[in-house]
Amino acid sequence: MEGEMRLYHWVMIVVVALWALSLVECHAKPGADWSQVDPEVREWIGSLVMPDRDPAYPVSCCGEADAYEADLGETDEAGHNYAIITGTRGNPLPVGTKLLVPPEKIQNRQGNPSGHVIVFTNENKNVFCFVPNGGM
């Protein structure tokens, strides 16, 4: 009986841990008006994958509802880069929002046909991907 309780305890810990990790990932949702953007750019946005994940198991950067136009705005004394949102297309974070860009989130393997720096983030300002426009 005690062994079964320990097993149940560990199973519950794993289930809760997996659930908590799922909260960090992005989920498809409505939002952002990219309808006037070139269809090739829209397709590219949907094809982007997180650069810090195993390429054998790609994870999407999310989609249009999490994509913002931005500039690489600031670098602090410690060398941390910050993106400044310059276009929302109707997403909830306002223009001028400053986002910390972790180096492992810089996606420069899939090009950038948009003509803008693109940052994928959520309302909690977690950056999923940062796509430079011609490099950083």
Token pair in block for residue 94: 């306002």
Q: Does some domain include residue 13?
A: no
Sign of CA dihedral 122, 124, 130, 133: positive
Number of separate domains in the chain? 1
**pLDDT tens-digit profile of 73-117?**
788 999 999 999 999 888 999 999 999 999 999 998 899 999 899
Range of the domain at 108: 32-131
Residue 24 burial (10 A CB sphere; 0-12, 13-18, 19+)? exposed
HSE, CB side, 13 Å, CA atoms: give it for residue 90.
10
* pLDDT reported for residue 86: 95
Q: Does some domain include residue 18?
A: no
pLDDT of 125 strictly over 50: yes
Q: Does some domain include residue 2?
A: no
Q: Does some domain include residue 43?
A: yes
What is the arithmetic mean of pLDDT over 3-28? 51
pLDDT of 136 strictly over 70: no
Q: Does some domain include residue 27?
A: no
pLDDT confidence of 1, banded at 50, 70, 90?
low
